Structure 1
C-alpha cells in the first residue's frame, strides 16, 4: 500500500514538469517571422496545424521563391501556407523534382499554380512517393489518357499515385474485363474508363471483387447485362462502395413503399441509379416529405430522380412554386429536378408562360 502511494506521488510530481516542458517549447521564430512578412494568418495555422510552427529545419524562403517563379502572387502564397503549412518542410531538391513531374502533365505554370492552390497536399508530398507518381503517370499515358485528365486524377486523388503502378494496372484490367463481359465495345473502353475515373477516381482504391459481387447481386434481381453496363456508367463508380446487403434493404423498402412490381422497380432504378446507395432512413424522410406535400406515389414513379433531392431543397422548391401558383400535386415533378440554376430557369419559364402579355405603352383598342 505504501509502495503504491509512493509511486503515485512520484508520477504526480513528474506530470507537471512534463506539461511545462511542452508548453515552454518555443515556436520556430524564423518561421513565424517569415509567415508574418507574407501576411499569413498565423492564428489559422496555430488552430489547425500548430505543430508545423515548431519544426526545424524549414524551407520558407526556398518555397516562396519556387512559387513566385511559377507565377504565384504573394497573396496566393499566403493562401497556400495557411491551408498547407507543411509545404515549408519540403526540401528545394524535392520541389524541383515535383515541378518537373507535374509539368510533364500540366500545360503551363499557371495551370500548375491552380493545382497547388486547390490541392496543395497533392503537390507538397513526401519524396518517397516520387517514383510511384512517375510510374503511374506513364501507366495512364499508356492507356491513352489525356494529360489534363491525368493531372486532374493526381490532384484530386493523390493516393492513387502513391501506390505501385502495378496495383493500379491490375484494378484497371479488372474493370476493363467487367466492361467487356457486360457487352461494352472494345472501341469505347478507353473513353468509358477515363470517364469512370474522372467522375470517381477513388474506385482505384476499391477491390474489384466488391464490384463483381454487387453486379452479381443486381443480375439476380433481374437486371440484364446491358442494363448493368448502363448502371455501371451512371453510378460513377459508386457501385464499388455498395454491398448486396445495403442494396437489398433499399430495393425492398422502395418496392414496398411504391407498391410496384419487380419490372417497374428495375425501370425506376435505371432512371434513378442513386436510389441504390440511399439508406432506408434517408429514403423514409424523402418519401415522407413528398407525400406530406400532397404528391402521389405515381408521380414519384414517373419522376424518381426527385428522390435525389434533400428534404430541405424539396420543401423550399415546393413553397416557391406554390407562391407562383404552380400546384405540384397535379403538375409534373420534373420542375423540381436539377441544380439551383436549372430550377430557377424552370420557374422563369413557368412564370413567362402564365403571365398575361400586356404592353402598357401600346394604345388601347376602342370601338370606332
Structure 2
C-alpha cells in the first residue's frame, strides 16, 4: 500500500484530473474538553510527500484535523505545471490550507493568474516563494473582478504582478472596498487641486502596494498630518505624495507622528530650522521610517566622520543605509583622504557596486599621485 501511494505521487501527469476528495472515516466524537485529534491518515500521506509536519502544524494546525482534503490532487496539479516534489512539499508545509482546494478551483485560479503572468514556470516560482499569494483566498470570482477593475484603472501588468505577490490580500477585498480606496485617492488629488486624479491614484498604488490593505482613515490622517505640519503648498503635496511620500502613507499614524517629531527635535538641536526640516522631508521622506534611536546613532556617526548636518539635509537618503555600512564607507573614504566638504556626500548613498568602483578609482588616483611625487 505504501509503495502504491509513492508511485501514485511520483507518476508524471499532464493535467489535474477531477479527483475525488480524500474521504476518511470519522473518529469518535471528542469530549468537550479535548481538542479534535489530528487525522492520522492525512499525516501519513503528507509525511510520504515530504511535508514538514511540525511547520504545517505550527502554521495552520486545524488543517491537520480535517477529514476531507485534496493533497494528492494538489500534488498532481502542481506537478503538471512544472513543480517538482520538493516544491510541492514546501508549498504545503508553509501553507497547509492549500490541500483543501479542489482541482476545479485550482484550474480556474491558475487560469486567472496566467492572464497576468507569462508562463506556468513563472507562477510556480512565485508559489515556491510565497504560497499564500495563490492559496490565501478561495474566491476566484472576486479575484477575477478585482483584476478586471485594476486593469480598467490602468494598473500595469508589472504592478499587477507585484500586487499578487506582495500584497495578495488586495484580492481578498471586495471590489467595492478597493474601488472605495481608489475614489479616496482621487479625492486627495482633487483636494490639492490636482488635474489628473486617476493618474494620481495609479501612481500612489504603484509606489505603495499596501494601500489597498489599509484603511482610508489611516491614509487620510497621514496625508492631513504631513500637509498641515509641513505647511505644504498644493504643488508640493502633489509632488511628495506621488513620489517617495507615497510609501509612508500607510504606516501607523502614531509611529509617523513620533518619528516626525523626533527628527524635527534632533535637527533643531543641531542648529537647523523648520525650513531645513521641510527640505529634508521633501528630499527623502522615507527618513520618517527610521526610529529616533537609530536616527540619532546614524547622525552622530556621519557627523563624527566629517559630514555637516546641512549636507545630510540635502542628501538624506544616506540615512537609509545600515549603521555598519555607513561606518565602513566612512572608514574607506577617510583612509583615502576623501574631502566631503569639497566633493559632497553623494558617494555615500551609491549602490555597493558603484561605491566599490568609486573606491577603486580613488585608490588608483592616489597611487598615481604618490608615484609622481
Provide the residue aligned with 1:226 in structure 2: 235
Provide the residue aligned with 2:109 in structure 1: 98
Q: Distance in 2 between matches of 1:141 and 1:298?
A: 44
8 Å CA contact retained: 1:250, 1:275: no
1:204 aligns with 2:212: yes
Q: Distance in 2 between matches of 1:358 and 1:281?
A: 42
Provide the residue aligned with 2:326 in structure 1: 314
Q: Distance in 2 between matches of 1:217 and 1:224?
A: 13
> What SS class does the counterpart of residue 72 from structure 1 fall into?
coil
Provide the residue aligned with 1:124 in structure 2: 135
8 Å CA contact retained: 1:32, 1:42: no
CA 1:349 to 1:194, structure 2 compared with 1: closer, same or farther past 3 Å?
farther
Q: Distance in 2 between matches of 1:97 and 1:212?
A: 37
Q: CA deviation at 1:116?
A: 1.6
Q: CA deviation at 1:175?
A: 0.7
8 Å CA contact retained: 1:132, 1:165: yes
Q: CA deviation at 1:61?
A: 1.3
**What do the CA deviations read for 1:198-229 (whole angstroms, capped 9, x no partner)?**
33221123333443443333333332211112
CA 1:236 to 1:354, structure 2 compared with 1: closer, same or farther past 3 Å?
farther
TM-score (norm 2): 0.77
Which runs of 5 or more residues in structure 1 are unaligned?
1-16, 360-368
CA 1:284 to 1:297, structure 2 compared with 1: closer, same or farther past 3 Å?
same
Q: Distance in 2 between matches of 1:141 and 1:135?
A: 10
1:163 aligns with 2:173: yes
1:177 aligns with 2:178: no
8 Å CA contact retained: 1:31, 1:58: no
Provide the residue aligned with 2:154 in structure 1: 144
8 Å CA contact retained: 1:318, 1:328: no
Q: Distance in 2 between matches of 1:182 and 1:346?
A: 42
1:73 aligns with 2:84: yes
Counting matched residue pairs gives 338
Q: CA deviation at 1:251?
A: 4.8
Q: CA deviation at 1:172?
A: 0.5
CA 1:41 to 1:166, structure 2 compared with 1: closer, same or farther past 3 Å?
closer
CA 1:88 to 1:357, structure 2 compared with 1: closer, same or farther past 3 Å?
farther
Q: Distance in 1 between matches of 2:313 and 2:294?
A: 17
Q: Distance in 2 between matches of 1:51 and 1:261?
A: 57
Q: Distance in 2 between matches of 1:26 and 1:216?
A: 51
Q: Distance in 2 between matches of 1:96 and 1:248?
A: 48
Q: Distance in 1 between matches of 2:97 and 2:350?
A: 40
Which runs of 5 or more residues in structure 2 are unaligned?
1-29
Q: CA deviation at 1:327?
A: 5.5
8 Å CA contact retained: 1:335, 1:343: yes
Please say which structure displays the higher CA radius of gyration: 1
Q: CA deviation at 1:22?
A: 6.2
**Which residues in structure 2 correspond to 1:1-368 (within 5 Å)?**
25=37, 28-36=40-48, 38-42=49-53, 44-45=55-56, 52-127=63-138, 129-186=139-196, 189-190=198-199, 192-220=200-228, 221-233=230-242, 234-241=244-251, 243=253, 245-246=257-258, 248-326=260-338, 331-356=343-368
CA 1:160 to 1:209, structure 2 compared with 1: closer, same or farther past 3 Å?
same
8 Å CA contact retained: 2:51, 2:90: yes
